[in-house]
Amino acid sequence: MQDTAAAVLGQTNFTPFDWVIVLVYLSISLVIGLFVRKYVVDMSNYIGAGRAIGTCLGIATMTGTEMGLVTVMYSAQKGFTGGFAAFHIALVAGIVTFLVGISGFIVAKLRDTEVLTIPEYYEKRFDRKTRILGGIMLALGGILNMGLFLKVGSIFIVGVTGLSAQGWALPIVMSTLLILVLVYTTLGGMFSVVVTDYIQFVVLSMGLLVATGIAIQFIGWDHLFETVASQMGSAGFDPLTAEGNFGTEYVLWMAFTAGLVSCAIWPTAVARALAAKDSTTVRKQYMLSSVSFMVRFLVPNFLGIAAFVYISTQAPDLKALFFPGEGGQAVNNLYAMPALLGRMLPPGLLGLISAAMIAAFMSTHDSYLLAWSSVITQDIIAPLRNEAMSPAARIKCTRICIVAIGLYILYWGLAYKGRDDIWDYMAVTGAIYFTGSFAVLLGGLYWKRASSTGAFMALLSGIFAVTGLGPVQALLGWNVSGERIGLATVLLSLVIMVVGSLLFPDRAEADQPVENQNMPQLAEEL
Amino acid sequence: METWMTVWKVVFIVVLAMFALLSIWVTIGGFKDIRELFAAMDAAQQEAEQKKNQNP
């Protein structure tokens, strides 16, 4: 970063008092991680919190996990570049989550199967090889997906604290936060995750509401809308218009990814459903969480819009950095929202909001680390071993995986020098898993003739999603939007699941005489 | 554009109001859930220890 840019971005209200607030908060999280360690006696307790989470705690922990700092940063970026039209992401996410709650689509049925992870369901419904492949695809997509989390989260922290001028700050912040997360996740498992998620929900919800109120007062309600209207035109409000950043395909893709996948397919969200008391609790939790699923996009979108209006109309020094005119190189617009918060919020409150954001950062990391490492242990390593693994060995293996993944994200965050769009990177890496998984879950839960071969092929077809990446498209000579590739991969997986199941039915079903194949269903009906 | 502007104003205010109410409810209810969770885990732990003592 150039010295001038660093000096301008270094102007912040963050004081030593704010550091004290942040440090006290982090210390409390660490102590909780150590305190709940005594409850971890088996794998069910470690990754499912003993399956004893009530509705309110379920909502808190789900929101704490899904409202991560990366989501906040990415959504603020969308608000900064797309204006109020970006609100459609929040709206579709909330509506789809509410519909999943009412219907119990996927999640309630999955909870009734009593499994701990999605790949475990694959084995129960299909076979062991589907479980192992499902685990590999999930771990691959998931770990790649969180590869830039640590760096993006740390950019927020150094941005809001004004440390971005110091070259040493980013790696130090990344390492410190990673160590904290690793300590309490490896020690306490899901117990420490749900308890700290609860505290994080309280701090985060209060912090976001207060920050929103201050932003409205600081910039002006009418001024926000007038500026977006004058600078972006109808594209700043209408998400369906082809002139803007979105369009109909994008809205559909958001309904699938930000809506259905986020709440019903993505393992960190599904883990909350599987840890709930029963399927009735799951439905209730999802209906009520739909508000949180909207807010996690809506408020950061709004803060991004506020940053756009503030920089465009009230901060000429920042405007010169973010909109330098022809020939100039603009500063990464991820810094816009932290820059606004650093100048807008008074000391003390800035510390509280920063603690809330760090809370969001940590709650995502702990859940993701636990999710991917438990998948590697439960769904890849344990099924591949000839001998049975004891609960103690499984917990130890999960802890080793947590540390290994933590080291990978630290390495990747420090080594990765690209300036890719975070959302493109995340959507493509995530799609490797969720496109195939959607077809397999849908077929497995709702179609009796779905076969293990069909499921295996559908899971593999998720690899097609990598063609949405810019470098891969350049190699292939394609120029197709990420959302189009994503929707095509979803359709492809569904078709492969159906065709594969019809062409290669499972042996038990294939051996049955045709007239007897519907006997179990008839017996159930009788 | 005016219609979309009104839609987003309404969505924003309604969702924030709902979230404020939800936050209060979850804060209170979540605290009760945590107490119940720990009580259940304490009971399970005691039960496990009793079984261990009975069948050393």
Kindly state whether residues A183 and A255 are assigned to the same domain.
yes
Residues A161 and A188 in one domain: yes
Pick from A153, A91, A151, A483: nearest CA to A297: A91
Q: Which helix (H) or strand (E) holds A363?
A: helix A349-375
Positive or negative: CA dihedral A358, A360, A366, A368: negative
Q: Is the residue at A520 inside a domain?
A: no
Residue A490 lies in a domain: yes
For A353, the enclosing helix (H) or strand (E) is: helix A349-375
Residues A125 and A150 in one domain: yes
Kindly report the nearest CA distance between residue A228 and chain B, in angstroms. 10
Distance from CA of A386 to the nearest CA of B (A): 29
| Contact (CB<8Å) A234/B4 | yes
Residue A31 lies in a domain: no
| Neighbouring C-beta atoms of residue B23, cutoff 10 Å | 23
- Same domain? A395 vs A484: no
| pLDDT at A165 (0 to 100) | 61
Cα four-point dihedral sign A257, A260, A261, A263: positive
Axis-axis angle for helices A128-145, A118-125 (nearest 10): 160
In terms of Cα–Cα distance, which of B18, B22, B45, B5 is closest to A87?
A: B5
pLDDT of residue A508: 62
ipTM: 0.84
Interval A425-429 mean pLDDT: 77
Q: Which residues in chain A have Cβ-Cβ distances shorter than 8 Å to B14?
A: none
Count other C-beta atoms under 10 Å from residue A242's C-beta: 10
Q: Is the dihedral of CA A26, A348, A71, B20 positive or negative?
A: positive
Q: Look at chain A and report how many structural domains it folds into.
A: 2
pLDDT tens-digit readout, A399-420: 899 889 989 888 888 776 655 5
Spatial neighbors of A255 by CB under 8 A, at least 6 apart, are A92, A96
For the segment A171-195, the average pLDDT, to the nearest whole number, is 74
Q: What is the pLDDT of residues A441-469, one digit of tens each?
A: 999 999 999 999 999 999 999 888 888 77
pTM given for the model: 0.82
Percentage of residues in chain A with pLDDT exceeding 90?
Answer: 28
Q: What is the pLDDT, as a whole number, of residue A112? A: 87
Does residue A485 share a domain with residue A399?
Answer: no
CA distance between the termini of chain A: 72
Chain A residue numbers touching B33 (CB-CB < 8 A) = 53-58
Determine the residue among A61, A84, A193, A287 to mutate to test chain B binding: the one whose Cβ has the most chain B Cβ atoms within 10 Å: A84
Check residues A32 and B7 and name the one with the higher pLDDT: B7
Give the DSSP per-residue string, A337-350: HHHHHHHHSPTTHH
Within-domain flag for A192 = yes
Asked if residue A453 belongs to a domain, the reply is yes
Domain boundaries, chain B: 16-56
Last residue of a domain, one of A417, A432, A467: A417
Kindly report, residue by residue over A106-148, the tens digit of the pLDDT.
998 888 888 877 888 999 999 989 999 999 998 888 888 888 8
CATH for A347: 1.20.1730.10
Nearest CB to A39; choose among B16, B22, B41? B41
Q: Is residue A473 part of a domain?
A: yes
- Of A417, A435, A457, the residue that ends a domain is A417
Q: Is A295 close to B9, i.e. CB distance below 8 A?
A: no
DSSP letters for A171-188: HHHHHHHHHHHHHHHHHH
A429 lies in the same domain as A390: no
pLDDT digits (tens, 9 = 90+) for A333-380: 888 998 899 999 999 888 888 887 887 787 778 778 888 888 898 888
Of A427, A496, A356, A394, which is closest to residue A120 (Cα–Cα)? A394
CA distances from A353 to A69, A202, A205, A250, A498 (A): 12, 12, 10, 31, 49
Q: A169 and A189 share a domain?
A: yes
Nearest to B1 among A39, A194, A229 (CB): A229
Amino acid in the structure at residue A457: M
pLDDT above 70 (res A515): no
- Given A400, A417, A434, the domain boundary residue is A417
Identify which has the larger pLDDT, B34 or A442. A442
Tell me if A212 and B16 make a contact (CB, 8 A cut-off): yes
Given CA atoms B32, B33, B35, B39 in this order, what sign does their dihedral have? positive
**Buried b vs exposed e over A200-212: b needs ≥16 C-beta within 10 Å?**
bbbbbbbbbbebb
Domain residues for the domain of A438 are: 419-511
SS3 A53: strand
CB atoms A94 and B15 under 8 Å: yes
Which spans in chain B are helix H? Answer: 2-54
Which tens digits make up the pLDDT trace of B18-29? 989 988 888 888
Is A96 part of a structural domain of the chain?
yes
In sequence order, what DSSP letters do the residues of A490-513 get, joined into one string?
A: HHHHHHHHHHHHHHS--HHHHHS-
A96 pLDDT higher than 90: yes
